[in-house]
Structure 1
Amino acid sequence: MTTVLHSAPKFASNDGVLETLSTALGSMVVSTLEAHGEISIIVERDSIEDALRLLRDEHSYQQLVEIAGVDYPGRAERFEVVYMLLSLTKNHRVMVKVSTDEDTPVPTVTTLWPVAGWLEREVFDMYGVTFDGNTDLRRILTDYGFEGHPFRKDFPLTGYTELRYSEEEGRVVYEPVELAQDFRTFDFTSPWEGADYVLPGDEKADVPPIDDPKVTESPKDTGAGAKADDKAAKKVSAGSPAEKDTGKKAAGAPEATEDAPDRAASKGDVEETKGATVPETKSDKEDDK
């Protein structure tokens, strides 16, 4: 069996990669991070095309695997666009990021990888990030005429219209939302603490007043005391019949087992078994020995 050798290593190390790439990108780098075995490089937004071209042509990151969006509503530039690159010859990955807001477009990288056209359309559809230079920036996952961007963290969870495909009309139709019950939000408050509001239906409950709780401030409230102790000490039932032996035979009682006559001896070479209820005598013990 021959061993097949490949130029790409089985496992690629990050040693020295971040320093090398940061030096090569120079002033285009805003910040860098190496964590969880991954290398991330944040570059200037307007320099993204030049940065990715340099990584592709001079550092062998030939493949654009994915373009993803991230939303941080608390930031001034709330969106991040993440480019995931793969080097087929080094078997190594690196992430390059840029940040932007709702109005500022990001330069397209369709000039470097044609597949970026589809990936940029997805980020635009889900987050609303626009890409300057993409000549076919249309929605790719949501329906025609859809309003909003579903992956934004401020996207509403409910609305007033819904869409479905109509077999009768042969197209997607919009209709008013019809809910079987009112939309309810749940705050997961502990039931022992209680919610700050009245749940639907609770206003109809007959709740007893709790301002005057019942307490046991004296023994008479609990029924305890000397009188109760004296009453508990008195016997209220007769003693058991077996407590005393009167020596008199009760009517209908059977004969005692030890008073019954012995059974007839068995025929043949057999050993008789002693009666189970007959007390064992000293001579019986000697016979057993």
Structure 2
Amino acid sequence: MIRNVLRTLGGNKKLYCCSVTRGTVTDTTNTEKKPLPPSFYKFNEVKRDKLANFGRYIAQCLPKFVQQVQFAAGDELEILIHPSGVIPVVTFLKGHHSAQFTNLNFITAVDVPTRKNRFEVVYQFISIRFNARIRVRTYTDEISPIESITPVFRGADWYEREVYDMYGVWFNNHPDLRRILTDYGFEGHPFRKDFPLSGYNEVRYDPELKRIVYEPTELAQEFRKFDLDTPWETFPKFKNESIASGYHVIDKEDKKKV
């Protein structure tokens, strides 16, 4: 309950307004701004070292599947694995007593057409017991399937259907792998880089047939010349400048204890 209270201070009879919210009184005459707490947790070097040691521990336990351990965005632990190790690694993360990543946060994918294996499938898990999160990344192409993790995490059902619908990644042993976001009979996968912005078919209501009809997309427009030059091309050093990577690779051979 919020109410305004008028009070009198000392002998000068100064009036001010304060608000009472659940037993907390805030003086509105004080215009000094208090610093707000950060939206994200602060960088913790101790926590980062513990995650690095845990990443090395996973690499030592599963050397057949773990190809690289790294940090993204400073202190976000990532495990890069071979596609054949999806089920063993996920089972390890969920069931091992030192991990207990029992909460599947999301599954998504990234399309990089210039790579031989153009699709990167990303899993993120949360350990409520240890207040930590980990990201697992693997790769595939247009025709090679990935094992579904629904036997380990039942909640992965819809996530994998979304990845299949948007990117066309096939998941083996999925209980019901069909489209979930696009319409029936949709052609193509919208999140692929080679998917046209206009799509392949146009959906509209036909007043004569009194129903929804699908027709090939027709974009009638005049010839246009696009200027693709960029002002950055005038700086020759900008072309040769290497882009700094946001990843820090962890040495898997470090024999630190977890």
TM range (shorter): 0.5 to 0.7
Which residue matches 1:57?
95
1:85-124 mapped onto 2 (5 Å cutoff): 85-124=125-164
* Match in the other structure for 2:61: 24
Taking structure 1 as the reference length, the TM-score comes to 0.57
Are positions 1:14 and 2:51 aligned together?
no
Relative contact order, CA 8 A, sep 6+: which one is greater? 2
Q: Tell whether 2:215 aligns with 1:175.
A: yes
Q: Give the 3 Å change call, closer, same or farther, for CA 60–107 of structure 1 in structure 2.
A: same
Aligned to 2:239: none
Aligned-residue offset at 1:104 = 0.5
How many pairs align?
182
**How do residues 216-227 of structure 1 correspond to structure 2 at under 5 angstroms?**
none
Shift of residue 170 of structure 1?
Answer: 7.3
Unpaired segments of 5 or more residues in structure 1? 1-9, 191-289
Residue 108 of structure 2 aligns with an amino acid whose one-letter code is A
TM superposition shift of 1:30 = 1.4
Aligned partner letter, 2:130: K
Among 166, 169, 181, which residue is 1:141 paired with? Answer: 181
SS in 2 for 1:104: coil
Q: Among all aligned residue pairs of Structure 1 and Structure 2, give the percentage whose two residues are the same amino acid.
A: 45
* 3-state SS in 2 of match to 1:42: strand
Preserved CA contact (<8 Å) 2:162 2:180: yes
- Rounded Cα–Cα distance in structure 1 between residues aligned with 2:108 and 2:85: 18
* 1:188–1:90 Cα change, 3 Å: same
Per the TM alignment, residue 162 of structure 1 is displaced from its structure 2 partner at its CA by 0.7
CA distance in structure 2 between the aligned counterparts of 1:180 and 1:121, rounded to whole angstroms: 35
Measured in 2, the distance between the counterparts of 1:84 and 1:27 equals: 21
Question: 1:68 and 2:103 equivalent?
Answer: no
Query: Per-residue CA shift, 1:72-91, capped at 9, x if unaligned?
Result: 11111111110101001111
Structure with bigger gyration radius: 1
User: Which of the numbers 179, 196, 208 marks the counterpart of 1:156?
Assistant: 196
1:169-208 alpha-carbon deviations (Å, 9 max, x no partner): 6764213445574475633548xxxxxxxxxxxxxxxxxx
Matches within 5 A, 1:127-138: 127-138=167-178
Letter in 2 for 1:46: S
Cα RMSD after superposing both structures: 2.6
SS of residue matched to 1:30: strand
Any stretches of 5+ residues in structure 2 without a counterpart?
Answer: 1-40, 231-258
> Measured at CA, do residues 182 and 76 of structure 1 come closer, stay the same or move farther in structure 2, by a change above 3 Å?
same
Task: Work out the CA distance in 2 between the residues paired with 1:176 and 1:99.
Answer: 33
Going from structure 1 to structure 2, the CA distance change for 1:63 and 1:165 (only over 3 Å counts) comes to farther
Specify the SS of the correspondent of 1:26: coil
Structure-2 change in CA distance of 1:51 and 1:176 (3 Å): closer
Match of 1:39 in 2: 77
